[in-house]
Amino acid sequence: MSTLVPAATGTGGVNGVALTVLILLFALVTGMGFWATRWRRADSMESLDEWGLGGRRFGTWVTWFLLGGDLYTAYTFVAVPAAMFALGAVSGFFAVPYTIVLYPIIFIFMARLWSVSHRHGYVTPADFVKGRYGSRGLALAVSITGILATMPYIALQLVGIQAVLEVSGVGGSNALAKDLPLFIAFALLAAYTYSSGLRAPAVIAFVKDALIYLVIIVAVIYLPSKVGGWDHVFSAAEAKMAKTSPVTGKPTGAFIPNTQQYWAYATLAFGSALALFMYPHSITATLSSSSRNTIRRNASILPAYSFVLGLLALLGWVAIAAGTKPIGLDGKPNAQLVIPQLFEDMFPSWFAGVAFAAVAIGALVPAAIMSIAAANTFTRNIYRDWIKPDATHAQEAKIGKLVSLLVKAFALVFVLTLDKQNAINFQLLGGIWILQTFPAIVFGLYTRWFHRWALLAGWAVGMVYGTITAYNVINPATKGHFGGSLDMIPTIGKMGYIGMTAFVINLVIAAVLSFVLNAMKVDAGHDETIKGDYFADAGDPRVEKNVSLDARLTTGTP
């Protein structure tokens, strides 16, 4: 069987055709972005209302595409298959149950969040927390966490763009040129968001989706047959995962989770699912749907994405069968390069270029949207609430633009200081943090029993525990900190996702302290919502007008 596989070569210099196609597609899309800005300028408010963070009226199908666009990022295309390739099912395939259980979870609480947000004009999670608990402190905690947790998620996108550039031959082996692809990726992203705001990525999102679906369909149909069928793929993966790793002295990874890994697999999946819709960018995307029940109807068709995500994850194992050698330009192996490398080895050069462009644009668009969402959170919930309540729109727009740059600069710091060999860990690190805002947001949708100070205390302990525990995970190969997202679960004694452990600790503290504070009748804060708000739908009083976020904030136009 393995004779079917051509000997895979290293990255080996510039792939002229692929690089040219990549640059051409990139230039086309960038041109479209700037054109969209100019074209829409005359009716900018309205256009943002259509797409942006504002009063969108999207039905089931458009929302389906948009959310799907949010899901298909460098996470799906680069990080998950790379984890499958390097470490196997526990580190990578958990993404499949993660994206399945995600939808019942959001089905349960998202409709309530939609209703109350539309009644009161909330567009960020922190807005809701402030209104519900009458606590600026708790809202501040939620917004800081949102911004912080978005950074490693953006970092993951930068790693994705870098991987594509590196495989297509941009960069070099000396110290200066080594990080060149990364800086190019960063500069592109920064220039892009700073000048165009949200409108450009909005227009490009459709091109991006089309390119991505094309590449996915071709990849999952063509590649497995080319390396000798799925039988061969799975046996090659099983053989590799069983081999003893020279670094750890243990098996390389998991083909199928063993009894010691059940908790890890389940907590990674469940924790990631609880975390995803706490990010500012995903909450604003769901609030944009046209009615309370759009998101629920969506929840029943979105799992189709999980199926494709699973096939993409398996491409990591296809690469094992194909004998792909992801060697970086510095001559060292780098698992993150495995999918671009597989495309380069297996596809004709021109289609490899199309695939590279799909991955790069597929990382650029979400990264732009994420950094804008984080900047919005800063401007609305920190700048306006704490620093300058009487700021003009122009000042707010300026701050928003600057913060979006700052967020990306910090994302770059994450890439440079953390171990990017296992980029999926970036997303898991973000998850550890953002998960700590879950009790305040989601439990708040159902009950006011939790006391605002108890939630704040639970959040603080969860954040500190999660960060310290994650810091202390040492990567066996590089000896670096933040080497993984699994640690021993206290009292259970098995490895599990740190985010879930921190979440449970957070919950226990919030519950115990709420009991005490409520018994002591400590001021619980003013709640501006009523029970009926959580069931409001389009057509009810105040529901229509108040969705729109300040258009100026997001476009940067004065």
306 belongs to the binding site for other proteins (CB under 8 A): yes
| HSE, side-chain direction, 13 A CA sphere, residue 320 | 29
Does 26 sit near other proteins (CB under 8 A)? no
The reply on whether position 332 binds other proteins by CB under 8 A is no
| Residue 101 to residue 139: CA distance in whole angstroms | 28
Quote the least distance from Cβ 110 to other proteins, whole Å: 12
Stretch near other proteins under the rule CB under 8 A, chosen from 72-80, 145-153, 417-425, 537-545: 537-545
Candidates 10-18, 62-70, 483-491, 539-547; binding stretch for other proteins (CB under 8 A)? 539-547
Is residue 533 near other proteins by the rule CB under 8 A? yes
Q: Which stretch binds other proteins (CB under 8 A): 14-22, 145-153, 230-238, 318-326?
A: 230-238
- CA distances 62 to 101, 204, 286, 364, Å, are 22, 14, 11, 20
Residue with tokens 């969209």: 36
- Within positions 236 to 255, which residues make up the interface with other proteins, using CB under 8 A? 255
Question: Position of tokens 């953390």?
Answer: 418
Q: Does 230 bind other proteins (CB under 8 A)?
A: yes
Contact 371, 408 (CB under 8 A): yes
Could you tell me if 196 and 37 are in contact, meaning their C-beta atoms sit under 8 angstroms apart?
A: yes
Position 17 contacts other proteins (CB under 8 A): no
- Which of 1, 24, 304, 387 lies at the binding interface for other proteins (CB under 8 A)? 304
- When the beta carbons of 111 and 204 are compared against other proteins, the nearer one is 111
d(CA 7, CA 4): 9
Residue from the set 293, 349, 475, 548 that interacts with other proteins by CB under 8 A: 293
Say if residue 58 is exposed, middle or buried (CB neighbours under 10 Å; 0-12, 13-18, 19+).
buried
Tokens at residue 436, please? 């700590």
Residues 192-221: x where in contact with other proteins by CB under 8 A, - otherwise, as a string? ------------------------------
Q: How far apart are CA 222 and CA 345, in angstroms?
A: 13
Q: Which helix (H) or strand (E) holds 303?
A: helix 303-322
β partners of residue 58? 289
Q: Could you tell me which of 174, 156, 178, 154 has the C-alpha nearest to residue 166?
A: 178
Nearer to other proteins (CB atom), residue 15 or residue 282: 282
Is 51 or 75 the residue whose CB approaches other proteins more closely? 75
Among 47, 529, 554, 555, binds other proteins (CB under 8 A): 529
Q: Is 493 a residue that touches other proteins (CB under 8 A)?
A: no
- Options 226, 297, 448, 481; binder of other proteins; rule CB under 8 A: 297
Tokens 């990874």 map to which residue? 253
| 438 touches other proteins (CB under 8 A) | no
Nearest to 218 by CA among 80, 40, 348, 56: 348
> x/- binding map, residues 100-119, to other proteins, per CB under 8 A?
xx-xxx-xx-----------
Distance in Å, CB of 225 to other proteins, minimum: 11
Report the residue from 39, 222, 307, 471 that binds other proteins according to the rule CB under 8 A.
Answer: 307
Taking CB under 8 A as the rule, does residue 540 contact other proteins? yes
Contact positions with other proteins (CB under 8 A) in 351-370: none
Cα–Cα distance for residue pair 466/148, rounded to 1 Å: 13
Partners of residue 495 on adjacent β-strands: 488
Stretch that binds other proteins, among 51-59, 265-273, 378-386, 500-508 (CB under 8 A): 265-273
Residues 450 and 514: beta-carbon distance below 8 Å: yes
Residue closer to other proteins, measured from CB, 308 or 355 = 308
Q: How far is the CB of 96 from other proteins (least distance, A)?
A: 5
Per DSSP, the three-state class of 251 is strand
| Segment near other proteins (CB under 8 A); pick from 43-51, 291-299, 389-397, 449-457 | 291-299
Based on the shown chain and the rule CB under 8 A, indicate whether residue 527 belongs to the binding site for other proteins: yes
Stretches 73-81, 355-363, 528-536, 549-557: which one binds other proteins (CB under 8 A)? 528-536
Which residue in 141, 510, 536, 553 binds other proteins (CB under 8 A)? 536
Residue 281, helix vs strand vs coil: helix
Tell me the backbone φ, ψ of residue 186, rounded to 5 degrees: -65, -45
What gap in Å lies between CA 300 and CA 108, rounded to an integer?
A: 12
Q: How far apart are CA 115 and CA 530, in angstroms?
A: 11
Give the residue, chosen from 7, 176, 259, 491, that forms a contact with other proteins under the rule CB under 8 A.
Answer: 259
Distance in Å, CB of 89 to other proteins, minimum: 7
Considering only the stretches 39-47, 409-417, 419-427, 535-543, report the one whose residues sit in contact with other proteins under the rule CB under 8 A.
535-543
From 276-284, 294-302, 319-327, 359-367, span contacting other proteins (CB under 8 A): 294-302
Secondary structure (H, E, C), 442-475: HHHHCCCCCCHHHHHHHHHHHHHHHHHHHHCCCC
Stretch that binds other proteins, among 276-284, 415-423, 502-510, 532-540 (CB under 8 A): 532-540
516: contact with other proteins by CB under 8 A? no
- Closest separation in Å from C-beta 144 to other proteins: 27
59 binds other proteins (CB under 8 A): no
Tell me the DSSP string of 89-150: HHHHTTHHHHHHHHHHHHHHHHHHHHHHHHHHT--SHHHHHHHHH--HHHHHHHHHHHHHHH
Q: Is 310 in the site for other proteins (CB under 8 A)?
A: yes
Rounded CA-CA distance 529/537 in Å is 15
**Terminus-to-terminus CA distance in the chain, angstroms?**
63
What does the binding site for other proteins look like in residue numbers (CB under 8 A)?
89, 93, 96-97, 100-101, 103-105, 107-108, 229-231, 233-234, 255-259, 261-262, 265-266, 269-270, 293, 296-297, 299-301, 303-304, 306-307, 310, 314, 526-537, 539-541
